[in-house]
Structure 1
Amino acid sequence: MTETPSPDGCRSGVELQIERVIVASLEQATVHVRCLRGPVRRGARFNRLSGSARALDLTLTQAVVYGHRVPALDAGLTAFVTLRGKGVQTLLSGTPASGGQVIQGTNLLP
């Protein structure tokens, strides 16, 4: 899959839909997600949350698909991810009506 570079040419946009928050602490959460726009690589930074004006500064530190750690998530995949940073308390599990929150951010290109 090809990534879409941002105007500065060094980042690409990514999106994850929050399906379920499994465990959350003050600075880290394990979350079941669906990748809407990717690939989302380990180290991706998320700074926007759908339907909220609250600031986020989250880093994806781990992704697990079918029990295996993976370096990236392609669009359409579901996974358990670990997010660390400011704003994990604002993440909520999705409902059939809401479809779940979407977090948006960027990958640094290799």
Structure 2
Amino acid sequence: MREISGPGSCRSNVELQIVRVIVASLEQATVHVRCLRGPVRRGARFNRLGGSAQAIDLTLTQAVVYGHRVAELDTGLTAFVTLRGEGVQHLESGVLASGSQAVEGASPFA
């Protein structure tokens, strides 16, 4: 599914499952994720936290797969990503009993 964000710019719907929050500050978090819907590219914006009414506005600034920085994550890949913006404090590590959290948003096309 694709959505138009503005004149001349296209974006695709994306989703990352939170496996574990590694480090979090007020505006930035390093998170171990699994890509549920991609490709997720640097600059992807996340504005929905699955199963929550909490407002977030997070931007993916970096993705690392097997120790190497990558420009995008394909569906099924796991990675360490850096998310920056408002709502970092609402990110939670996945727990088997309660299920896992996911962030949803849009990613710019290449």
Same fold per TM (> 0.5)? yes
Structure 2 segments unaligned to the other structure (5+ residues)? none
Q: Which residue of 2 aligns with 1:56?
A: 56
Count of residues in correspondence between the two structures: 107
Shift of 1:5: 1.7
Divergent runs of 4+, >2 A = none
The TM-score normalised by the length of structure 2 is: 0.92
C-alpha distance in structure 2 between counterparts of 1:87 and 1:61, whole Å: 15
Q: Which residue of 2 aligns with 1:71?
A: 71
Please, what TM-score do these two structures have when normalized by structure 1? 0.92
Is 1:6 matched with 2:8?
no
Q: Give the SS at the match of 2:97.
A: coil
1:25 aligned residue: 25
Are 1:87 and 2:84 matched, yes or no?
A: no
* Percent of residue pairs bearing the same amino acid type: 74
1:98 deviates by 2.8
- Whole-angstrom distance in 1 between the partners of 2:98 and 2:77: 19
More strand by percentage: 2
Distance 2:41 2:4 in 1: 20
The separation in 2 between residues aligned to 1:26 and 1:56, in whole angstroms, is: 13
Q: Which residue of 1 aligns with 2:46?
A: 46
- CA offset digits 1:34-78 (Å, max 9, x no partner): 000000000000000011111110000000000000000000000
What is the Cα deviation at residue 10 of structure 1? 1.4
Where does the alignment leave 5 or more consecutive residues of structure 1 unmatched?
none
